[in-house]
Amino acid sequence: MKFERYGIGIAKGMALTFKHLFRSPITVQYPEQKLIVSRRIRGNELVWFLDRCTGCATCAKACPQGNIEIVTHVGTENNYVVDKFEVDCGRCMFCGLCVEACPYNALAMGRSYERSQYRRSDFVLSKEQLQLSDIRQPSGYARPLVEAKLPRQSLLINSKQKDGGQKLSWLGLSKKRGRGV
Amino acid sequence: MTLLESFRLFLLNMNWPDWAAYLVAGLVGIIIVLAFVVVLVIVFIWVERRLLGRFQIRLGPNRLGPEGIFQPLATAAKILMKEDIVPAKADKIIHWLAPVIVFVPVLLIFAVVPIGQGAILSDLNVGIVYVVAVSAVSAVGIYAAGWASNNKYAMIAAFRTVAQMVSYELPVVLAIIGVVLMAGSLSMTQIVESQTIPYIILQPLGFVIFFLGTIAEMNRSPFDLLEADSEIVAGYHIEYSGMKFAMFYLGEYGHALAYACIVTTLFLSGWQGPWLPPILWFIIKVFLVFGTIVWMRATLPRLRVDQLMGFAWKGLLPMAIINLFIIAAEVLWLPQINLWILVAINIAAAGVLILLWSRLFTLGGGRVEV
Amino acid sequence: MALQTEPFILNVGPQHPSTHGVFRMKVTLDGEVVLDVEPVIGYLHRGIEKMGENRTYTQIIPLTDRLDYLASLTNNLAYVLAVEKLAGIKIPERAEYLRIIMAESMRISSHLMAVGFFLNDLGAMMTPVLYMWREREKLLDLFEMVCGQRLTYNYMRIGGMSHDIPEEFLPALKKFVAEMPKFLDEYDQLIAKNEIVLVRTKGVGILPKETAIDIGASGPVLRASGVKWDTRKADPYSIYDRFDFEIPVGTTGDNYDRYWVRMQEMRQSVRILEQAIAQLPTGVVQADVPQLLRPPVGEAYGHIEAPKGELGFYLVSDNSIAPYRFHIHPPTLINLTALKDMVVGWKIADLIVTFGSIDVVLGEIDR
């Protein structure tokens, strides 16, 4: 264990670190700048389409945890009417097997990943909360028609700087502030 | 004649009594030095976090205040608001005293640092000996902190402290003696004024030994085994929280500032420089030294404790002794020669010694038969 | 007169910055020298093997993601291979090539993480971690593009993959493969000849060749000790016999060799990726498999070369929709049994570094 290379190895390592001082940073200032997520993201929520669901419960059978609870009664036109469709999103692991299993495209994953609540019981989402709204948009996972309309993902490898960093405007960051800062 | 001396004489000329002039001049000096230290320590904390972030291709903290300059104040406020927990079986008096013993010597060093031409708190004629003596006291504080915490991880850190601090004092002092021989005096102002060529060029080996020795004394990477986060989980300050931890934290950056100032004074010719006012040159040089220290922290992994001791006793100490002989020979037999010839001789000697030592000596032990 | 000393027991507890998860070691120390190491595991036990007996074959796939959570796709691949062996299913060509592409990208990602945190244990203050995570981030973006998640992918199915890749995947992957060797050279410049790394890892924590074969080690730990054994060449699964790559083998089996073997494996993975992208055919990506699969009565063992070693799944079926017995062969648990032999006699700093070089993930050890 002699000091074999007279300190040249350390000097080359320090030269590499010094070169990195002149590369742009690869982090973004969240929450002022958000990256565009993938078109097929399995976000932390589900979106349910009331008009397409027939109450067949294939999704409930496909779930590994048993998170979906469906109660139906027989309706007048030889169909099932869904009384209760509850998903326990706190236990859900967002694997997407239910979305793949649905034969009528009535269930889709969501696009948001910022769904924290204060109580665990707030995670059990009922029929009305699961439907499409402006804060609950479907993602393209296993739904090619939805996927075709969504914007492209922002990739680190495609960033404009030739050394791979993100472009940041220094003074602009200091002026913008998030909530509570 | 320092600036404070002239201020005191000015007060005496205005018919103040003797003791009042001395007291007022002293207080003014102390307040200026303390303000300098506190402001620069806070700026150092900010510089370190942002610069370390830039080395690691990320930004540092930039939310509080424009570009994050209020971050150190927020850190200080957070630490002060934390609960002060003392372990049940800890030695309460020593647990309380240890941060004080670590922090106060740092402030004492700044009494003899020349910030500008004549701007020094007290121009002791044994300035550098005072610095060496005072800076050795912090080692006792760190060992006391490790002992008083009643925690095995802290004890391991305390074992390592004693070994590391004691063994790195010797090369540091020998490198200082080399500088003192060339300068001809122990007083800090004399050392600065005698550097027509900065001693980093005249004594490269002395600079390398002194720089590595002070990084070891400051417990920074690559010698930061005392607080090795990945092995002994914060080492000697594992059981400290609240204001006592703030003392350790500020003490670490205060040490960095103090030793950076000493390096600047001894080897980089202090406040001398062409156009800017002297205090600005001093601050620029201190920041350059600190930037190099942060650069080494960002790049290098740490040494093991027996390799650290091997590096001090088998590597730095013999080189420091040989360096001292060479400098003494030059001062004794070639006093009037052109300084650039001495530069050439010293750089050649440094190269030969570093090559020889890398080939011949092993660093650290191997496996112990159990 | 000799000084009277006594050894003391230090608890490198479940909560520690460097134990790569919740892992506890009772270390007997004499000063700084390690005399004995006793590992205590089980802090992350979740009962995955028992849960597997109550779920259908497709529902187990998200469970296997969570075993070695840093290399999820190779877990999926091993399980799906075992089921296909059990049920005798043949998968389309495009799915085979996609599986190779995903598995090799996963190997690069896992090795980047392992080498980065090995250096973090050595003391380099997160700098190599962040440099390597820049490359890993590019790979995670690509995985997110394909299957929607960045850590637990759930992408492989019995009979192929779940969906086809989008059209912007291949250009981005080609760009990554073209740039990667330059970054690997940069890492070598930072680490491979650094004197402090050499002084701390060369000759430390040696695992001799016979001990490695005796305990049944596999993966980079085995190859660094000098044994040329790789499941991709010794018992080729999928279509690995169509690609041209080498197996790096170390000489002494110390920490530096384990790090070196992982760096060379990353270069070989880049080579395989280039060949696979060039040969990718068109077609469907999933064979026709019933939704509730009932394999015939029997047993199968499907094993692959995961980034950490040989990962195997043993399935026993009794012609129902869920397996009768579902057992996992974790490579890191078997590699970990050699820890005491590697570390006794060295110092406490070497204990942490050697443990980091075995590259454990607690999800796999405790299941």
Region B200-214: what's the mean pLDDT? 89
Nearest CA in chain B to A168: B59
Tens-digit pLDDT profile for residues C146-163? 988 888 888 999 988 988
Query: CB A26 to CB B359 under 8 A?
Result: no
On average, the pLDDT of chain C sits at 89
The verdict on C310 touching B (C-beta cutoff 8 Å) is: no
| Token pair 């006699």 in the structure block, residue | C345
Give the closest-approach CA distance of A120 to chain C in angstroms: 21
Could you tell me if residue A10 is inside a domain? Answer: no
Residue B287, token pair as written in the block: 């920041």
Specify whether A52 is located in the same domain as A92.
yes
Of C120, C127, C345, the CB nearest to B55: C127
**CB-based contact C53:C324 (threshold 8 Å):** yes
Output the pLDDT for position A159: 65
Average pLDDT over residues C28-45: 88
Q: What was the pLDDT predicted at A2?
A: 55
Contact partners, residue B345, CB within 8 Å, separation at least 6: B326, B330
Give the count of beta carbons closer than 10 Å to the beta carbon of residue B167.
19
Provide the sign of the torsion angle of the four alpha carbons B346, B351, B357, B360, taken in this order: negative
| CB A150, CB A140: distance < 8 Å | yes
Q: Give percent of chain B above pLDDT 90.
A: 14
pLDDT in the model for residue A171: 44
* Bridge pairing between strands A80-88 and C8-12: unpaired
Inter-chain residue contact A64 with C59, CB threshold 8 Å? yes
Total number of domains constituting chain A: 2
In this complex, the residue of C63, C145, C163 whose CB is nearest that of residue A153 is C145
CA distance C177 to C186: 15
CA distance A116 to chain B (A): 23
Instruction: State the nearest Cα–Cα gap between C204 and chain B, in angstroms.
Output: 8
Asked whether residue A27 falls in the same domain as residue A99, the answer is no
Mind listing the pLDDT tens digit for each residue in B67-80? 788 888 888 889 88
Cα gap C132→C150, rounded to integer Å: 16
Q: Provide, as residue numbers in chain B, all residues whose Cβ is less than 8 Å from the Cβ of C190.
A: 299
| Structure token digits, residue B127 | 């300035």
The whole-number pLDDT of residue B225 equals 78
Same domain, yes or no, for A119 and A52? yes
Per-residue confidence (pLDDT) for residue B1, from 0 to 100: 67
Q: Encode pLDDT of B209-258 as tens digits.
A: 999 999 988 888 788 877 766 666 777 878 888 888 888 888 888 988 99
Cβ of A174 and B359 within 8 Å? no
**Do A101 and A65 share a domain, yes or no?**
yes
Judged against a pLDDT cut of 50, whether residue A138 lies above it is answered with yes
Confidence bin at B140 (pLDDT 50/70/90): confident
Same domain, A134 and A165: no
pTM of full prediction above 0.80: yes
A134 φ/ψ angles, rounded to the nearest 5 degrees:
-75, -15
Predicted local distance difference test score (pLDDT) of residue B139: 85
| A78 and B CB contact within 8 Å | no
The distance from CA A63 to its chain's CA centroid, rounded to whole angstroms, is: 19
Q: Does C124 touch chain B (CB under 8 A)?
A: yes
User: Nearest-CA residue of chain B relative to C190?
Assistant: B299
C-alpha to C-alpha distance for A111 and A139, rounded to whole angstroms: 5
Domain residue limits, chain C: 47-338
Predicted pLDDT at B211: 92
| Full domain range(s) for residue A96 | 46-142
How confident is the model at residue B182, as a pLDDT?
A: 86
Q: Report the distance separating Cα B234 and Cα B249, nearest Å.
A: 12
Determine the Cα–Cα distance for residues A113 and A111; give it in Å rounded to an integer. 7
CATH code: domain of residue A138: 3.30.70.3270
Among the listed residues B106, B120, B150, B91, the one whose alpha carbon sits nearest the alpha carbon of residue B32: B120
Mean pLDDT within B124-135: 87
Question: Rounded to whole angstroms, how far apart are CA atoms B191 and C260?
Answer: 50
Give, in degrees to the nearest 5, the angle at Cα B118 between B113 and B123: 55
Average pLDDT over every residue of C124-135: 88
Per-residue confidence band for A172, with pLDDT thresholds at 50, 70 and 90 = very low
Residue A60, pLDDT > 80, answer: yes
**pLDDT higher than threshold 60 for residue A166:** no
Calculate the CA C300 to chain-centre distance. Answer: 22
Same structural domain, A65 and A133: yes
The dihedral sign for the CA sequence C275, C278, C279, C284: positive
Whole-angstrom CA distances from A92 to A88, B165, B275, C249 are 6, 55, 68, 43
For residue B236, the tally of other CB atoms under 10 A from its CB is 31
B residues 207-226 closer than 8 Å to C (CB) = 221-222, 224-225
pLDDT of residue B66: 77
Structure confidence at residue A1 (pLDDT): 44
- Decide which of 3.40.50.300, 3.40.50.20, 1.20.1440.130, 1.10.645.10 is the CATH code for C47-338: 1.10.645.10
State the smallest CA–CA distance between residue C114 and chain B in angstroms. 15
- Residue B230: predicted pLDDT: 60
C-alpha A93/C-alpha A152 separation (Å) is 25
Written as one letter, the residue type at B94 is I
How sure is the predictor about C300, in pLDDT bands with cuts at 50, 70 and 90? very high
B367 touches chain A (CB under 8 A): no
Cα Rg, chain A, nearest whole Å: 24
- Whether residues C35 and B370 touch (CB distance < 8 A) is answered with yes
Give C256's contacts (C-beta < 8 A, 6+ positions apart). C197, C198, C201, C202
Q: Which of A14, A25, A174 sits opposite B299 (nearest CB)?
A: A14
Query: The tokens of C108 are what?
Result: 């690069």
Is residue C341 within 8 A of residue C192, CB to CB? The reply is: no
* Residue B289, pLDDT score: 93
Provide, rounded to the nearest whole percent, the portion of chain A with pLDDT above 90: 1
Asked if residue C316 lies in contact with residue C335, where contact means CB atoms within 8 angstroms, the answer is no
Instruction: Give tens-digit pLDDT for C103-115.
Output: 999 999 999 999 9
B222 and C31: CB-CB below 8 Å? no
Q: A18: distance to nearest CA of chain C, Å?
A: 11
Q: Given CB atoms, is A23 within the 8 Å cutoff of chain B?
A: yes
Query: What are the DSSP calls for B72-103, one per residue?
Result: HHHHHHHHHTS-----TTS-HHHHHHHHHHHH
Percent of chain A as helix, strand, coil, to the nearest 5: 20, 15, 65
Report the 10 Å Cβ neighbour count for C286: 18
Give the pLDDT of residue B345.
Answer: 85
The mean pLDDT of A122-150, rounded to a whole number, is 85
Contact A41 C144 (CB under 8 A): yes
Q: Are residues A55 and A135 in the same domain?
A: yes
Same-domain pairing of A53 and A105: yes
Tell me chain B's radius of gyration from C-alpha atoms.
22
How many secondary structure helices (H) and strands (E) does chain C include? 15, 8
Could you tell me the pLDDT band of residue A178, with boundaries at 50, 70 and 90? Answer: very low
- pLDDT, tens digit, for every residue of C77-106? 999 999 999 888 899 999 999 999 999 999
pLDDT of amino acid A161: 55
AA identity, residue C301? Y
* The total number of residues written for chain B in this structure: 370
- Per-residue pLDDT of B7-31, as tens digits, reads 888 888 888 888 888 888 889 888 9
Whether residue A9 lies inside any domain: the answer is: no
Asked whether C329 and C177 are in contact (CB, 8 A), the reply is no
Helix H segments across chain C? 48-52, 60-65, 72-87, 93-122, 127-147, 169-191, 195-201, 209-215, 220-224, 231-234, 255-278, 331-336, 339-343, 348-358, 362-366
- What DSSP element (H or E) covers C9? strand C8-12
Q: B155: pLDDT confidence band, cut at 50, 70 and 90?
A: confident
- The confidence score (pLDDT) of residue C113 equals 92
Nearest CA in chain A to C164: A142
Chains contacting B (3+ CB pairs below 8 angstroms): A, C
pLDDT tens string C215-242: 999 899 999 998 999 989 888 888 888 8
Question: A179 falls in which pLDDT band (50, 70, 90)?
Answer: very low
Cβ atoms of C139 and C105 closer than 8 Å: yes
Residue A13 lies in a domain: no
| Dihedrals phi, psi of B76, to nearest 5 degrees | -65, -40
pLDDT reading at C319 higher than 80: yes
Measure Cα distances from B67 to A172, A177, B61 in Å.
Answer: 11, 12, 8
Q: What is the pLDDT of residues C160-183, one digit of tens each?
A: 898 888 888 888 899 899 989 999
B352 contacts A6 by C-beta, under 8 angstroms: no
Q: Where are the domains of chain B?
A: 85-359
Three-state DSSP class for C313? strand
What strands lie across the sheet with A68-74, from one edge to the other? A68-74, A80-88, A124-125
Question: How does residue C1 score in pLDDT terms, banded at 50, 70 and 90?
Answer: low
